[in-house]
Chains A and B, each alone.
Chain A
Amino acid sequence: MLFLGKQQVAAEQNLANYTPLPERKVVSGKQNGFHFTAENCIGCHACETACSEKNCLPAETGFRKVGYVEGGQFPNALRVYTSIACNHCSNPVCLQGCPTSAYSRDEEFGAIIQDPNICIGCGYCTWVCPYGAPQMNHEKGQVEKCDMCIDRLRKGQKPACAAACLGKALDFGEIAEPMTKQLPPEFPTIELTEPNIRFHKVRGGKTMPNQMVRSDSLLNFDAENKRPLSTHENPLLAFTILTQISVGAFATLFLTGMAEGVAATILLAVIFTMQSIAMLISTLHLGKPLKAYRAIKGMRLSPISHEVIFVAGFHALLGGYLLMAVVPLLPMLHLPAPPMAELMLTAKPIIGWGATIIGSLSIFAMSKVYLLKNRPLWNHWSSVASFTGTSLTAGVALAGMAISMGGGKQGGLNSLLLVIIFAIILLMRGRESLYNKLKSGSKEEQISFKIVEKFYKKFAIMAYSSDILLFSTICIIASIPTGRHSYMLWVAAFTFAIIGRVLERAIFFAAVEPTAVASGTFWKNRLYEQTT
């Protein structure tokens, strides 16, 4: 024992033993990172504020987050603070996910650097990071994040946050040791990204209470509060659904051989317009729409780049196909046929096949964007089922509507009915499986489940009812003889399919709960935001 009084009473007082940590050294050419000692953190926000001051951050963003979990019973209560920024991971999912290659790894200190000037503000890195490190700056339309204060490192200084720490909790330096087994409570998974942060202990004696509660846990919110179904991801809702309908409708027309004739061409034009709108919406959704072209730079790794390439490819092929569909109609309009009309007509089926295949692939590329381990609501096969199912219900029904309006062949329509029924079963099975998983899953999954139960149950029932109505309508179409008004039933089928899919997708965006490090009492506290 270090303190020795007159009577040497210390030894028998069993005071908490405390072993100070050596100061960490920054080593150039090695992986550096943050070292955090939760026991010493007093939640004083000095680190967070030093970061805001250094980086001139607006109050809405913040590269670092001080939060806490607490447990125990008074007076043996324990509030464990954490202060987490970017962990400069060895497996940086942000870098891999970025469609613009705005991310890079700095060789000198091992920082994961993001260049806001390259960023187009798609926000995908803010989705994939399990720690919520990248921050969307809505004012500037770009993402920004912790850069390890690399300018300070080069001057031999520690990052502003570590230099500001008043509790001896946050330090910075070489990451030489492996990750400790015992993480601070509520720290998100480390398997996904291999974060370069290390946690340390300085005190013996004090044990952690069994149950630690987050102040921002949505598990325990008051149902009185309203939560809108509409989110700021509405543009993505529109984009995904419209694209999926376009792909489904085109593939149906093409594969059933009904993409001919005036009515079909008009429908093609409708699909093309729809798809153009979808792409416009998704572009305008970006922080910097004019720089959207950069979104293919990450084609080697980024699911967003893949999505963009496939969807843009489908769009181009769809446009080409429409053009070729128009060519044979030109003489009817007393217009001269364009040169190479013959060749174009030969190429038409190739382009049609191309659009169908690329379009289908785009559906999968699109679902891959959402299959994120840190967003468990999305990370389920039902997401793929939903995306495909949208094509196979609403998309197919749209084609069916047009075909029946144009008085097309009934054989084709019957096969469409089978496809739709198959899709409904797929959707329902997916939803059932998802709900079962959520109910008994991780904390985030349970929160998503609860959000649906408390706020969106009505919408979920409406979506389910729409599917039942769609199913019934399909059965009716199948059972009654084709009449002059059978297209009315197809209109109904399409409407039900659309309602079901839109509601389902809205819930998909509104109920997702990402993994996140714990927040403080108010700032970035999801429960507080929910009740404000």
Chain B
Amino acid sequence: MAVNSKDIQQWKTATCGYCSTGCEIEFGIDSAGEVISARGKESADVNRGKLCLKGQLSFEQLNATGRASEPLLKKDGKFAPVGWRVAMQQAAGRIKTIQAKYGADSFAVVSTGQLFTEEFYTLGKLTRGIIGTNSYDGNTTLCMASSVTGYKRSFGSDGPPACYEDLDHTDCLIAFGSNLPECHPVIYWRLMEALEKKRFPIIVVDPRVTPFAQMADIHIAIRPGTDLAFINALCHLILKDGLQDKEYIEKNCTGFAEFSQSLKKYTPEAASAICGVDAKTIRKVAKIYGGAVSAMSIWTMGINQSTHGSDGVSAINNLSLITGNVGKKGGGCLSITGQCNAMGTREFSSCSGLPGYRLLESKEDREFMAKFWNIDGSILPKKRGMVLTDMFKAIEDGKIKGMWIIATNPVTSMPDANRVIEALKKLDLLIVQDAYEDVETAEYADIFLPASLWAEKQGTFTNTERRVSLTKQIRQPYKNSKPDLWIFNQMAKQLDQTGKVKFPEKASHVFNEMARLSAGRVCDYSGMSHEKLEAEGATQWPSPKDGSSQARLYADGKFHHADGKAKLMPLPYSCQFEQTDEEYPLMLNTGRVVDQFHTRTRTGKIANLNKFTPEPFVEINPATAEKAGIVQMDFVQITSRRASTVARAIVTPRVSPSSVFMPMHFFNSTNRLTKHLVDKYSGQPAYKQCAVRIEKTEKSAAKKLAEKARNY
């Protein structure tokens, strides 16, 4: 009898390169050296042998169609392979020309959350120290920027305080705008494991009936964008009922008086009118959360991607602080990150500051880094420059003339994507560096640099709970693609021939440099090295020289504001996002599906994943659909004040009659509709609230679009 089994000769470990859960994967390699299988690593603390569907098939991305094989140069509108030497010379030469003509900041570097920390660090050194542009940001502005600023405002520094283990100890979990089962399935599994051992209430705040909302004990089907009013009402009730931790507040927080004053008007009734949640339920949640010995808050894009994302994060921090949950085992607040190494860029990329959570704004930090890197300190700007969401406007205004886009796909992922495409066309120079040459942004590139995928090189990722894990090369780079670290180093050589600034070639050496730099900082790496990570497994920072590691931050109540305390802030609710009207009566909510990742450059080509969601869809409430004469699987035209797109109708009571939901993964789809409206602190776009209308559409054009998505 035939049994399907694979001829696996050896297993090699790498951390998953999709989301930031940080699952460790063992890849099975056959006798020909091909990677043919994947399984969760049993001894990995994060995933304990488990993987989600994307992880299970992650080896298939290595040979997926569209892998980039050669550096390309565009001549007369057509790409031709040119070899690395020519490509790098061209790139460096043209960067210099643009900067000479239009100033240092006219060349922008757009990074990602998908590279190794060593690569981010190297790119930061290159961009800050050699290229010297202050137009430097990553796509992390699209996902976690609000959390970063929220943490900074509350605690004085970035860094998620809690960890997965807290799930095992908590007495109450509240999740804001997080669809854990679909977006972070393995963390959800950790939650289920915890629930089997000890039952505690789960409260899910989400305008859509997600799988997480369904399994929750209490689902708060909040009106989109009104989370601040809800959280303020919880704080109001907790203070009113005396459920706060007075001692903790006194000892560790500032601003309480002003804060409690600001909460006065957020009675449950007032909040109810704003949020569309009845006052009784708000009272119940406040009682459960406030009454729990330890209560944990998690959130994802539902909070971050709004006009008040940073406020939302700080409001959750407020809630955790007044109940004394920050730093407490089973308590704390934890932003659940989207990209495998968004954390790494926060720590070491120098995008928003300088390595090791140093600040551009601090003279001391600038001088330190200039000395450490052996650069002229005057090259470092005195404050952070443009964020990603400002850059496309700057291109329109002629302030940015050249751009280097690394492992991100803004023409699909940026709000108001049409405008982004038009902007990219205006550039004198666009360099796109990606592992896939069919990434849609590459169409507008002048130079394309083929990068290797994560498992084709060595380096570390930091996951959501600050756990640093090592990925070792499990196979050779695809054709003539090169590790990003190599590309950055070559670019450095091209741009600065003095060799004054040292760029180590090996990732492990880069890591050691970072470890030295981080000693004594919040993200202390000094107790780690590649060798140690390989021998002892993934380790949470801070990990100081003694090699210890800390599961949660702020257990000692010491925060990073100058006074060592955390800030309680009044965060009044105000409605700043796009509003519906008669012409655009529906609120568009966007999000992920479990089987796709980001802009599908990887998952879209793995047939066993892509089959689950092969084309864009729009979830419509049955009542709304009936009014519009739409039935299941009809093609629907969705129109916002900016553009329109077509998607399949999925008629479902999961969404409210006044809103629709669309996945964010597809090119030429959801982000044509979304509005470029950003959080004032973080610059993160409000993807989740924009006004649209829907109508049934004529089939032929729609069918063509759908086919294009399917055959991607």
Contacts and interface: CB of A to CB of B under 8 A. Distances in A.
Partners in one complex: yes
Interface of A: 1-10, 13, 15-16, 18, 20, 39-40, 42-46, 48-50, 52-59, 70-75, 77-79, 81, 113, 115-117, 147, 150-151, 163-164, 166-168, 215, 217, 220-222, 224, 520-523, 527-528, 530-532
A190 to B, nearest CB: 26
B242 to A, nearest CB: 10
A49 B211 contact: no
A74 B200 contact: no
Q: Which of B2, B6, B186, B198 has the most CB of A within 10 A?
A: B2
Given A5-B293, A79-B214, A168-B192, A222 B633 contact: yes
B209 A79 contact: yes
A224 B699 CA distance: 9
A273 to B, nearest CB: 39
B189 interface: yes
B217 interface: yes
A168 B181 CA distance: 12
A334 B186 CA distance: 86
26 contacts: A2-B200, A3-B198, A7-B287, A8-B291, A9-B291, A13-B288, A40-B192, A40-B215, A42-B182, A44-B53, A45-B612, A46-B50, A46-B51, A55-B4, A59-B608, A70-B652, A72-B653, A74-B653, A77-B654, A79-B209, A79-B654, A81-B211, A115-B2, A220-B631, A222-B631, A222-B634
Closest 10 CB pairs of A and B: A75-B221, A59-B607, A5-B291, A77-B653, A42-B181, A49-B53, A2-B199, A166-B189, A55-B4, A42-B211
Given A521-B613, A521-B617, A49 B209 contact: no
A79 B654 CA distance: 8
Interface string B620-659: 0100000000011110000000000000101011111100
B25 to A, nearest CB: 12
A3 B56 contact: no
Chain B interface main SS type: loop
B201 interface: yes
Contact of A44 (B49, B181, B655): B181
A315 B211 CA distance: 59
A77 B6 CA distance: 42
Contacts of B53: 44-46, 48-50
A70 B652 CA distance: 8
Contacts of B621: 74
Contacts of B201: 3, 10, 13, 15
B37 interface: yes
B612 A520 contact: yes
Contacts of A150: 3
Given A115-B2, A215-B632, A522-B612, A70 B653 contact: yes
B611 interface: yes
Contacts of A3: 171-172, 198-201, 292
A167 B4 contact: no
Interface string B441-457: 00000000000000000
Nearest to A63: B4
Given A9-B287, A70-B654, A113-B1, A164 B50 contact: yes
Interface in B170-197: 171-172, 181-182, 185-186, 188-189, 192, 195-196
Contacts of A151: 3, 5
A521 B171 contact: no
Given A166-B50, A521-B617, A73 B653 contact: yes
B510 to A, nearest CB: 34
B51 A164 contact: yes
B56 A53 contact: yes
A5 B292 contact: yes
A9 B52 CA distance: 36
B482 to A, nearest CB: 29
The CB with the most chain B CB atoms within 10 A, among A147, A151, A166, is that of A166
B705 interface: no
B696 to A, nearest CB: 9
A437 to B, nearest CB: 26
A223 B97 CA distance: 61
A56 B653 contact: no
A297 to B, nearest CB: 16
B189 A523 contact: no
B38 interface: yes
B284 interface: yes
A77 B652 contact: yes
A100 to B, nearest CB: 14
A105 to B, nearest CB: 12
Contacts of B192: 40, 166-168
Contact of B217 (A8, A16, A56, A215): A16
Contact of B243 (A6, A71, A530): A6
B633 A166 contact: no
Listed residue (B5, B53, B181, B654) with the most chain A CB atoms within 10 angstroms of its CB: B53
A523 B200 CA distance: 35
Nearest to B710: A532
A151 to B, nearest CB: 5
Given A3-B199, A53-B608, A528-B648, 11 more contacts: A15-B217, A53-B56, A73-B653, A75-B213, A77-B652, A113-B1, A116-B2, A167-B192, A215-B652, A522-B611, A522-B614
B594 interface: yes
Contacts of A74: 209, 221, 621, 653-657
A137 to B, nearest CB: 12
A354 to B, nearest CB: 40
B679 interface: no
A521 B613 CA distance: 8
Nearest to B216: A16
Contacts of A520: 612
A218 to B, nearest CB: 10
A527 B633 contact: yes
B611 A18 contact: no
A242 B2 CA distance: 37
A50 B54 CA distance: 10
Contacts of B608: 49, 52-53, 57, 59
A46 B56 contact: yes
Contacts of B51: 46, 164
Contacts of A147: 3-4
B24 interface: no
Nearest to A72: B653
B524 interface: no
A529 to B, nearest CB: 10
A45 B594 contact: yes
B379 interface: no
Contacts of A168: 192, 196
B219 A167 contact: no
Contacts of A117: 2
A164 B654 contact: no
Contacts of B653: 70-74, 77
A531 B211 contact: no
B57 interface: yes
Contact of B6 (A48, A56, A166): A56
B52 A166 contact: yes
Contact of A49 (B4, B172, B189, B609): B609
B227 interface: no
Contacts of A116: 2
B176 to A, nearest CB: 16
A59 B633 contact: no
A67 B684 CA distance: 35
Contact of A167 (B2, B189, B198, B633): B189
B5 to A, nearest CB: 6
A16 to B, nearest CB: 5
Contacts of A220: 631-632
Contacts of B219: 75
Q: Which of B37, B198, B217, B219 has the most CB of A within 10 A?
A: B217
B137 interface: no
A531 B633 contact: yes
Interface in B1-19: 1-6
